[in-house]
Structure 1
Amino acid sequence: MSLRADAVLFDKDGTLFEFGATWNAWGHGALRHLSGDCDVALGALAAASRFDLARGEFLPDSPVVAGTNREAAECLAGALPHLVAEEVERYLTETGSEAPMVEAVPLMPLMAQLEALGLALGVMTNDAEIAARAHLRSAGIETAFRFIAGFDSGHGAKPDPAPLLAFADAMGLLPARVVMVGDSPHDLSAGRAAGMHTVAVLTGPIGASELAPLADVVLPDIGHLPAWLGAA
């Protein structure tokens, strides 16, 4: 069977896991905690992080959607004078690692199917690596991935293509034989810059119109990936 690629590199949040269903409730709780239950402080944090308090959700242009934990922490710390970015980052990582994750599709059978096709699998997220591993472990799929990297793993963060190229190098593959799958322009821009195929999915907060110019294809979710790769 001839496939479009030999490896697939996944983003995590909004790709393997539904973004809104996983992170909106957690985000509201985190902002409330950091505000000390002060409504004025909560409003300042929500404005800085682009969180819609009325709707209870991160807006598509929120720095939390595609940015690193460090960028999110710096954003929040800048909103209130008593917050220290390093302490906020530690809080976000620790509580985020324990957040209940909502799978975009049933992940264990999909990863088994992709592995059975002979594909090398990896994850590159702008979350912390420790949190990424905790989330993948909770879904029972950590061992399916031969490469797991966060923004703090030493390869850089998206949209820099460096961590994507590190995956290709670790797998011994040319970038042109790798597919980058993600839900944000950061994911897809990094994939394009690395010379990889780019697949957008709509399980994050960003719509198809913004993703399509950077993607070879826009899929509803990663469950459609095997057919696009040529497995059907």
Structure 2
Amino acid sequence: MHVPPAPLAALLFDKDGTLVDFDLTWGRAGHAVMLALGGGDAAAVARLAEAMHYDVAALRFAPSSPLIAGAPDTYVHLWAEALGRSDDAVLLDEMNAAFTDATLRALAPIGTPEAVLLALKGRGLKLGLATNDGEASARRQLAALGLDAHMDFIAGYDTGHGGKPDPGMVLAFAAATGVAPGRIGMVGDSHLDLVSARAAGAVAIAVLTGPARRDELAPLADHVIDGIADLPALVDRLSGTA
């Protein structure tokens, strides 16, 4: 006997590449941060760009960039090596502060995320954010986009639940909202989001608005959609109201 999937009761969003345009925001911010931490030295910026798989001319991080693959504490040592520094903890704080300011200045949403969140809230869903960016930076960006009031939960890699692809943020969202993981959809543009969802027992929903291609995401996803604008229809379909 076929048992239909349980309707979704909550959605947990990745930020960059899902709600925020990754290339426009992080691509432009990346160059500003490299210039700032490199003291304007062209050789230092070139070393940072090479370490981070960053195209200075195009203002773009390659899909293979360590910045895409993990949280800042997983690649700060690469910045330290490029800058000839050994104070990783201090540098991590400097990086986070510089990126918080630079990404806010370059912030570009994907489509009209507030309209999507309002439509989902209107369907009774709990909403949250789980990002490998820092929590303070995430909160500032959500506030700038007018999205913070719609979130029931916000977590960054430094909130205390761990970073993706570990399941901690998904499980913390489940505990905070009282929604079982099986009725939570983790929405993201990278394998980190989808692996995190699967590890927590949540529904993995891939969006194609980030650097990763469909063929990279589809094997890890329960659903693949073009972008978050397609979420209300997906929620309706899974609830049987479409």
> Which of the numbers 85, 89, 92 marks the counterpart of 2:88?
85
Amino acid across the alignment from 2:74: E
> Which of the numbers 10, 15, 23 marks the counterpart of 2:13?
10
Task: Map 1:139-178 onto structure 2 (within 5 A).
Answer: 139-178=145-184
Are 2:200 and 1:194 equivalent residues in the alignment? Answer: yes
Counterpart of 2:109 in structure 1 is 103
CA distance in 2, matches of 1:66, 1:12: 14
Shift of 1:174: 1.3
RMSD of aligned residue pairs (Cα, Å): 1.7
CA distance in 2, matches of 1:58, 1:166: 30
CA distance in 1, matches of 2:208, 2:87: 34
Shift of 1:8: 0.1
Are 2:230 and 1:224 equivalent residues in the alignment? Answer: yes
Shift of 1:200: 0.9
Q: Is the 8 A contact 2:204 2:222 kept in 1?
A: yes
CA distance in 2, matches of 1:207, 1:164: 23
Counterpart of 2:46 in structure 1 is 43
Deviates more, 1:81-90 or 1:25-34: 81-90
Amino acid across the alignment from 1:213: P
| TM-score, normalised via structure 1 length | 0.93
Shift of 1:170: 1.4
Shift of 1:27: 0.4
Shift of 1:127: 0.8
Deviates more, 1:137-146 or 1:72-81: 72-81
SS of structure 1 residue aligned to 2:20: coil
Shift of 1:35: 2.1
Counterpart of 2:213 in structure 1 is 207
Shift of 1:116: 0.7
Identity of aligned residues (%): 41
Shift of 1:87: 3.2
Q: Is the 8 A contact 1:3 1:229 kept in 2?
A: no
**Structure 2 unaligned residues grouped into runs of 5+:** none
Shift of 1:82: 2.9
**Structure 1 unaligned residues grouped into runs of 5+:** none
Are 2:139 and 1:133 equivalent residues in the alignment? Answer: yes
Deviates more, 1:129-138 or 1:196-205: 196-205
CA distance in 2, matches of 1:78, 1:133: 30
Shift of 1:59: 0.6
CA distance in 2, matches of 1:217, 1:207: 14
| TM-score, normalised via structure 2 length | 0.89
Deviates more, 1:94-103 or 1:180-189: 94-103
Shift of 1:3: 7.5
Q: Number of residue pairs matched?
A: 231
CA distance in 2, matches of 1:87, 1:203: 33
SS of structure 2 residue aligned to 1:78: helix
Q: Is the 8 A contact 2:113 2:228 kept in 1?
A: no
Q: Is the 8 A contact 1:183 1:206 kept in 2?
A: yes
Task: Map 1:63-82 onto structure 2 (within 5 A).
Answer: 63-82=66-85
Amino acid across the alignment from 2:15: K
Amino acid across the alignment from 2:152: R
SS of structure 1 residue aligned to 2:25: helix
